[in-house]
A and B are shown apart, each in its own frame.
Chain A
Amino acid sequence: MISHDILIVGGGLAGLAAALTADPKLKVAVISKVHPIRSHSVAAQGGINAALGNNPAGKDDTWEKHAYDTIKGSDYLADQDAAELMCQLAIPTMYELDHWGVPFSRFPGGVIAQRPFGGAGFPRTCYAADRTGQMLLHTLYEQSVRKNVTFYDEWLVANLVVKDGKCLGLIATDLASGKIIPLQAKAVVFATGGYGRVYQKSTNAYINLGSGIGMAYRAGVPLKDMEFVQFHPTSLYGKNVLITEAARGEGGYIINNEGRRFMEDYAPKAMELAPRDIVARAIQREVEKGNGFENEYVHLDLRHLGKEKIHKRLPGIQEICINFAGLDPVDTPIPIQPAQHYSMGGIDVDTSCASPAAGFYAAGECACVSVHGANRLGGNSLLDAIVFGKIAGQSASRFITGGGAAGSSERPIDDEARKFQDKVTTIRQRDHGENIFQVLNRLKVIMSEKAGIFRKEKPLREALEEIPVLREASQKAYIFGAGPRYCQELLVHIEFECMLDVAEAILLGALKREETRGSHYRTDFPVRDDDHWLKHTLLTWTEKGPRIDYENVEIKKYKLEERKY
């Protein structure tokens, strides 16, 4: 059996950061269902936050102010110790990334450039034009080549093996051969990313099915705050490709069909640079009031920025608009609408990225520490992925070198591998039934219609009732292709089961939370209720169905206030 000290699942920023900081004496490998540089981190655009104080308008910035903005942005659901840790580590992390080769944009004098972003008191978002994710991901991959990290590319993890509260290993399948492979590990780090494609309209890559989150849940690890789903205000109408917040950071306006900057009605001080939950709701409301275009979208107007600034600071956006909408933002406003973008919730971990299962860690979007609470600020996700990815690599290493690892036995892993093999055989034996891609599309429609920006009891209940129906449909789905090689439909079968768990967790958390906080807006409970709901939702899988618990939020020096911008 293949055996490693640490197995990291996911080759995006969090996974690579974990691999780079794991103890070099340990045997470490990264498993990724795509080649690592195809991971969704590559699509991040606008930047990464750190209170460097390089912008003349931000010279008084400090990591505490960054933490304050993060916590206020989270609608006070972030754990304050976690937010402080991230913001403090942000500063040395930027210099390390620079030393690794990230081609950050620069200010005169040669220091890393910083731009304003939503919900931030100072311009503190470091960037590489509007290709920050690509530059970070490629750089971290380059560093992993330098450090000779072992990769299993195009392997999909199908199962996390946890027994008696201890993580033992994984079951994976190699896409190229279709072989089922049991893997033993002393520690496992999940860095599997978000679940955007549970929704119909999402800025996420097609591969973001969120199966890692569902897999951890099935293995008995709780999920935290899953009801908090970020909708990005500005996705390109039609394709829902992300149009970075940096477009507003650089000075772009959002305009309704009256030609008015309507954000003055919703966030008179911050205007377009209010946090994402507020701007997304404002756009949705304008469209519902009939102030949109074609009753679908509003305009993001960059024309006044001028050709040179657009070309220099937002070249990727210009390219996206030309490719996917046939317009040049230099001359024409961009049609935009909100779309699912990010998951604040995820696998329940503490500030060391440890989950309740011994030896199992998680970092990045699949995890919930929680630093983003009920709403994440732009520029904090890349930071979260890298800072907590590194912490996960260190924590998993310490767990092993400190002798915490379970006395390993191959048998439970073999058992799981056999069970999985049986499941695959059963699916393959069906010669008719549903098409799994069609079943998946049904789930997306339900989630978009019933658990979107505005929520209320009845639609959430209706959606929950659909979950078992879809589960049954998926269990009748069959595989068209004969061969085992690159059988992508089988992968969707495997991942879809996990997606149903993810969807159920979102719906259940949203139904139970009878208040409005950050991204979770209940039209039937439209105010924040700190007396009852200043707490994290924890969802645990049991034989009898999901169990809900609640956990206190870690409050330190940042006092609760009304969230006005």
Chain B
Amino acid sequence: MKWDNIKLITSFTFSDNIRMKRTFALVVLFVILFVASMRLATLTVLRRIPGLPRALIRISPQRLFLNNLLSNLALLLPFIGVMFGYDAISGEKERGTLRMILTQPIYRDEFLIGKFLGALSTIAFVILVSQVIAMGVSMAIYGIGMSMDLLWKLILFMLFSILYSISWYAIALLISVISNRTSYSALISIAIALSITIIAPILVSVYVTMVNPPPIFTGSESPSARQNAIRKWLMETQRLRSSLMSFLPDFQFQRLLRGLIGISNDLSFQALLSETANVLLGSTLSLTYLVLMALIPLIASFMIFVKQELK
């Protein structure tokens, strides 16, 4: 394997992606998302504690901000991965550029690694740049200060966002490797992303309600019995929902990041590291799930691509 070829394809893919309008659109969307999350958090806190000096808002809206951000990211990140992955190979096939490249002295695995690293850098770039811009904007407009723990959590958010997005990229890449047509791979990739992030949670809720319907009261029960029945129903609903949702990547990503949001504030850097390590150890299952979600389609893509007949 020749590292020079991988570097070349990586930098070419990165510069190609950066020029695309969709990358610019993503940065703008991310900035809006960040700023909106920040604004929503400050508004909520201000409404709760009227008359609170702005300087004190620094810490209190942090959790709200990160929670808002997490919900938005969980929805958006799959589509970022899909956006850079759906035409990674099928687009090259369709345009005839894959044929042009592969008739040169380059192995297919070098090409695919280069494409993957190019996409990884682009996704990291989009998330990093938009976070920096958004934090700058938020600090300037809302006077929100940056604390070390917030910065640390944002860095971790960024790293796991990249991992989550890349796992979706890997799925789209696999479809793109199998497909010869961009429209087909786009359609399938978006359908999968929509099914898993939006449709599956709805179906889970419907299913849970069907198998665990709310209790029906005749009117003869005592208030405490009613309360107990409702509490029991809610607990069972929650248990069923969680166990079913745990199969979904969105759930694992949110679980991992919610653990990080829970890290105490105002800790020394040493203590921050130690608590982060504890959270990550406690989220090994979620982490493994996300890593495997990226690795399995990636390995499958490699295995198919190196043996694929070019039509």
Q: Do A and B bind each other?
A: no
